[in-house]
Structure 1
């Protein structure tokens, strides 16, 4: 356990028979999945298995069949999103502060940080250990440092649902410690976390529940029951099936 939790503030999420076909290829097939409010729920599976596509259906970026619902238990809140990587022209003279301004405020970034958002941005960069590199160009940062900045922007405004797409992939050891500390904070604050991750050891230690996804849900259980050799072998050896194939 990672400390006593507060009352859950994030939404419960239900995927009910969600399917996705792109270019004649079935990406997702009848995905039915419940994510409990205030829990850290990990998605694991092979590359091309549909994990990022499932997240994009939740963000409204992919057409899909079936039903998808969020139960906020009251007023809807903020959804934070941390992508796997940041694609940008590294030659741009964009500093960390410029990037945070462009992502977190409506005021144009070239006018600098607004007084309204400056304290939150400063606190977010402090939490990820990037406060001393605010004037560095984004293109001059290491991959791990850029990933920390992405984590920081996911904190503003404070989310009640946080979607993480392999946030540990570019982090060094110090960055991993930052991420694990943040994850502990989010869990204690009752934020719902949907977390795509390939580091199964980290998932086993940090997630409340784990879903194995390869086009369809192959298992959904607490980490100790989900991450068994038999289940992982079945997950990573299952061949993706294209549209029109016969369900197994």
Structure 2
């Protein structure tokens, strides 16, 4: 099933006294791979969390599904957990993909899907290893594997390549190709500009506000990147602007 189009209109986010996002207008076409880039602290992860319903915000956020609403997959920037826990890769995949308690083992209904997902990310041979014993790149591959179950129509990826080695990067690029063929919508936060040039359909430069938005070949020029990484957010708190209540709607729901 094709993924949804994403539309943000005048989305603003303030945490305490700090304005994080300024009036974000953004359109992500259905079935596209859309990259989000910008300097550290620019609000990229905050925008992702806003989309996932984890941040209070002003403005409108709409998912328009071509048919009925589908599955949303999410890969966070890092997996935080107690590394001394005796939790294997199989245990983790069970926790993330089934309702049955992990200490009862993997559900037979999910075993095939978990086998396929771990094989796709090259981690089938590590399934009995403790999660705490894996490298950062291996844990990131496991996070990518869990996002495959059930098959997602919308992928939200927060710097998925950050801890990956060369082999892991190849796995991730293969997954992007797979999701493209499935016509999933992918919103992807990334720092690797070469990867964005090669793999994204469209790129948005964010530094608390949208600096540019368009095809990577046109947007990732030296001049545009200089503007992005040196931009300062508009200071509009003093203007007394207000916004209406935030809304989240799924047009086909």
Q: TM-score range by the shorter chain?
A: over 0.9
Residue in structure 2 matched with residue 14 of structure 1 by the alignment: 7
Cα distance in structure 2, aligned partners of 1:243 and 1:146: 41
Tell me the equivalent position of 1:145.
Answer: 138
Aligned partner of 1:48 in structure 2 is 41
What is the DSSP-based 3-state SS (H/G/I as helix, E as strand, rest coil) of the residue aligned with 2:109? coil
Question: Which of 71, 82, 88 pairs up with 1:78?
Answer: 71
> Distance in 1 between the 2:181 and 2:112 partners?
23
Among 173, 187, 190, the alignment partner of 2:183 is 190
Question: Hey, what does 1:4 align to over in structure 2?
Answer: none
- Name the CA distance, whole Å, in 2 between partners of 1:92 and 1:36: 41
1:230 aligned onto 2:223 = yes
Segments of 4+ moved more than 3 angstroms: 240-243
Match of 2:59?
Answer: 66
Q: Does 1:219 align with 2:198?
A: no
2:20 — aligned with what?
27
Q: In structure 1, how many angstroms separate the alpha carbons of the residues matched to 2:102 and 2:70? A: 25
* Count of residue pairs brought into register by the alignment: 239
SS at match of 1:177: helix
> Aligned-residue CA RMSD in angstroms?
1.1
Deviation at 1:57, TM superposition (A): 1.0
TM-score (norm 1): 0.94
**CA deviation string 1:36-91 (max 9, x = no partner):** 00000000001111111111111110011010000002210000001111000110
Q: Which residue of 1 aligns with 2:148?
A: 155
SS of match in other structure, 1:116: helix
Q: TM-score, normalised by structure 2?
A: 0.92
Q: Indicate conservation of the 8 Å contact 2:5/2:28, yes or no.
A: yes
Q: 2:22, 2:233 within 8 Å by CA — same for their partners in 1?
A: no
Structure 1: how far apart are the matches of 2:159 and 2:238? Answer: 30
Q: Which runs of 5+ in 2 are unaligned?
A: 240-253
Matching residue of 1:181: 174
Question: Counterparts of 2:120 and 2:177 in 1: how far apart (Å)?
Answer: 13
Q: Give the distance between the partners of 1:243 and 1:118, measured in 2 at CA.
A: 53
Q: Please, which runs of 5 or more residues in structure 1 have no aligned partner?
A: 1-7
SS of alignment partner, residue 6 of structure 2? strand
Q: How does 1:72-151 map to 2 (within 5 A)?
A: 72-151=65-144
Shift of 1:239: 2.8
Residue 157 of structure 2 corresponds to residue 170 of structure 1: no
